[in-house]
């Protein structure tokens, strides 16, 4: 069943919002009034995942300028997330991140967003844009082997924020329909 156009599935997960204590949970309600770019990735300490996570982190300010927050999710524990964040980028780590990672260790949130590969216990690469009222406005889900485009995510976010009809290949600053 498509999720777009419906209220985003609610969630509450442990996160790295407080990297020291790992005691600060994140929930959908925390993002009310802002746009949320919620993305799922398969596993910590893998090959494609850090390229996406660090690319989003490097451009987090652009999302903030669009009144959007970013939240990354995998089925790993917050302890694994912390270890990966504390590992330098040149050693296959993430280094400092400009947004939190959440732990869907129960796999419930991945199931609700229909990205869980049940037999592997990991999530597909799913990216969701949720509007300030909590309505899911965009979703893209694809295979484990291909990373997502930060440019395209920003383009879609800006298109959604116009509130207008945006033709194929529309770019920010161009006329809408």
Predicted local confidence at residue 47, as pLDDT: 87
* Residue 162: alpha-carbon gap to chain centroid: 21
Predicted local confidence at residue 49, as pLDDT: 86
Give the pTM. 0.96
Active site residue: 13, 38, 43, 49, which one? 49
Which residues of the chain carry a pLDDT beneath 50? none
CATH of 12-162, one of 1.20.910.10, 3.40.30.10, 3.40.250.10, 2.30.30.60: 3.40.30.10
Predicted local confidence at residue 1, as pLDDT: 65
Helix or strand run (H / E) with residue 138: strand 136-142
49 is catalytic: yes
CA distance 155 to 1: 25
């Amino acid at each position: 069943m498509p999720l777009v156009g419906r209220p985003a599935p609610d969630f509450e997960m442990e996160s790295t919002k407080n990297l020291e204590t790992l005691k600060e949970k994140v929930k959908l309600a925390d993002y009310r009034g802002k746009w949320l770019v919620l993305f799922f990735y398969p596993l910590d300490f893998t090959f494609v995942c850090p390229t996406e996570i660090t690319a989003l982190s490097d451009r987090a300010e652009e999302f903030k300028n669009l009144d959007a927050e970013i939240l990354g999710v995998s089925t790993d524990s917050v302890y694994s997330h912390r270890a990966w964040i504390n590992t330098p980028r040149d050693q296959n780590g993430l280094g400092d991140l400009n947004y939190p990672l959440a732990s869907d260790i129960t796999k419930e949130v991945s199931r609700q967003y229909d990205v869980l590969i049940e037999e592997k216990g990991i999530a597909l690469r799913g990216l969701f844009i949720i509007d300030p009222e909590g309505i899911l406005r965009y979703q893209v889900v694809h295979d484990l082997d291909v990373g997502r485009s930060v440019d395209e995510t920003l383009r879609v976010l800006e298109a959604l924020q116009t509130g207008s009809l945006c033709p194929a290949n529309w770019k920010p600053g161009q006329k809408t329909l």
